[in-house]
Chain A
Amino acid sequence: MSFSRRRAHRPPALFAAAGLTASAIFVLAGCSASGGGDSNADGDFSGEELTVLLISSHEGASEWLSTEFEKETGAKINPVIVPYDEIGSKLALDQQSGANTIDVAAPWYVSLGDLAADGAIQDLSEWIDSEEALDTEDFIPSIYEPYSEVDGKRYGVPFDGDTHVLFYNKEILERNGFTAPPATWDEYLEQSKTITENEKGDGVYGAAIFGQKSPLILGASFANRLAGFGGEFLDDNGQPVINSAEAVAAAQSLVDINDYALPTPAETDFGAGNSAWFAGKVGFIENWTDLGVRSQDPESGSEVIDKWGVSFLPTGGDNTESRASLVAGFSWVVAANTEKTELAKTFIEWAASSEVNEALLTATPPTGIDPNRISSLESDSYGTEYPELQGVNRATLEGALAWPTGEHATELAQILTDELAKLIAGEGGTAQEALDRVQDEWEEILGS
């Protein structure tokens, strides 16, 4: 074969490759894992290390936490950053395989039940109930329960109290003759439609809809509407009610907005939606309250500084009370097999404290953390810097819609998300039919 013969000998390239190879092996030989000791008593953990697993949105917070915790205790934090949809599986794999490199993690609260059932996280009931320093009374109750408890046991401590609110671009609304943000999902649809029809030519759309097929993204958009229409995922006995009239109306409103949203909801994930918001290309976006912090930060490349407003999520149907929707939200957990339980608890107690939460709320660069405590929500610093955000965040004080958190909860969320994705893609029949299928599958899984 001519190829190999024609270029039979080319020493220079070969030597280069050999040199690179040799250096690669050399570098490899230099790599080795570092060990870790166990805890000392009484707050001084100098020289110790704690490996903390976080999602990429919390990278900024992890830097702040690492620096401050080291100052406080002398212990070094090794943050491990993973994509938001991998944190649960990373933790479970790490513990199940016996690798046990993770000591503390901050997974999506919905995965607590599955992580507990898989033996990946510790039952913290005793500690949480007895440790007064945690001051659990101060946690916002509607956040504390789902973020902590599964089947009567406590596995988590609230970290990032994520609830969605409705942001609007004041300039865009004014240009289109709207003086106030929508109170209901119907008004929201009307305003979005008007904006899109008027300004589509300039690349401006009424709303950005997080519609990518992930429970944290599309699932969140649905949960926001479900809360607004007054629906629930499960009833008081833990039985699915996901095909209720309220839920169907919520799903339908997601279908209705599809045509007037930033193209296209199915492709819109956090990054795409937020980028359009910062560029001033969308009238509405449902988001975490910390979006407001970033919207004011010139470093983020925001073009909407001082041009935005924020309100409670709209309502729908017979429901007139706006209700917070706990869509994302992350809890601190202790890995099942860590040998550093004491240090882990010390860290969590500190990281979940009112002072730390308050500091994270207003830190620059923005950390993406939302209030999880009454005291930090009502703190002067937050109120002074972001009075509007403080106002809408109070919605969580009135009770909130939370996802199911027991075993199989992540599967339930995935099933719902898959059906919703089909629905807005026009493949799933009517909203009623789609949710009937979800109801059936949920009933099967929950054994009802």
Chain B
Amino acid sequence: MTKRSSRLANLTVGAALVLTLVPLMYLLSVSFMKQGEISSGILWPSSPEWNNWVDAAASRLPRGILNSVIASLGGAVLTLVIALPAAWAMVRYRTGGKTLANTILSPWLLPPIVAVVPLFALLRVLELNNTLTGLTIVYALANTAVAVWLLEGFVKKLPVELDEAAQLDGAGAFRVLVSVVVPLLTPGLVAVGVIVAVLNYNEFVLATFLTQGPESQTVPVVLSLMLGERIQDFGKIAAASLIGVIPVFAAAVFLQRWLVAGLVSGSVK
């Protein structure tokens, strides 16, 4: 590789970083501005307005974050429990055939708004309307297709000999799955779990219509309610947005490797 192309590469990476981070930095800046400063066209407040953060922390936001974390992690674990056996059987034994392989992603193609009304009716049958449990189950089902799709990539990379050998030892399908496949697939499971959890955490449309009240509303719903208030306090909204993204940003920093591995597995299988 020539020096010249490397310098161009460094410049490009630098530009990408600037374009990525400047908007986020601006949000941080606004979170410290007084109402008047926001409309006065400054880039950084003269003295930081900590009250925005205090107000945001005193709102329903902390409860929203707890709800989001519960629904996203609970949903992710359930998704994995549902998706792993399917991914394994589909890759190894072609269970379900081409039809299943080709249709599994179809629900993912349309915007979730179209499922709100049918899902509302379904949750009612389960008597789980407006509960965090109901939202968690919906998330678990909603991401199953994507999880199966991503997990297929990991299953394919497993040496087939291992589970065949276990079968020759007389282990049944379920035991092979639990005692051979799951341990080997742990990196993949964590990777896909992280992705699904982030998707759940960020989801808005289903959450806004399937939950009500502080005990089940998630972060995006709490933020949208702040936007709907009669007095819009953008400083507070910016602070709340930043507090709200702490869990996913933390996940990105600490679990970056898993996140990346999971996303890559799906498209490059």
Contacts and interface: CB of A to CB of B under 8 A. Distances in A.
Interface of A: 1, 3-4, 6-10, 13-14, 16-17, 20-21, 24-25, 27-28, 31, 33, 53, 55-57, 59, 78, 80-84, 86, 89-90, 93-94, 96-99, 101, 203, 269-272, 274-276, 278-279, 281, 294, 300-301, 303, 368
Contacts of B261: 3-4, 7
B132 A81 contact: no
B133 interface: yes
A270 B193 CA distance: 40
Interface stretch (B2-10, B68-76, B103-111, B171-179): B68-76
Among B213, B224, B234, B268, the most chain A Cβ lie within 10 Å of the Cβ of: B213
B228 interface: yes
Interface in B51-106: 69-70, 73-74, 76-77
B229 interface: yes
Given A99-B129, A101-B130, A93 B209 contact: yes
Contacts of B117: 93
Contacts of A99: 120, 123-124, 129-130
A278 B39 CA distance: 12
B74 A275 contact: no
A7 B257 contact: yes
Contact of A20 (B73, B187, B232): B73
- Classify the secondary structure of B's interface with A: helix
Interface string B127-162: 101111100100000000000000000100100000
A81 B186 CA distance: 42
B230 A13 contact: no
Contacts of A9: 186-187
A24 B77 contact: yes
Contacts of A271: 227-232
B140 to A, nearest CB: 11
Nearest to B210: A93
19 contacts: A4-B261, A4-B265, A8-B187, A13-B190, A14-B186, A17-B193, A17-B255, A20-B73, A28-B74, A56-B229, A59-B229, A83-B208, A97-B124, A101-B130, A270-B230, A271-B231, A275-B231, A301-B35, A301-B231
Contacts of B254: 13, 16
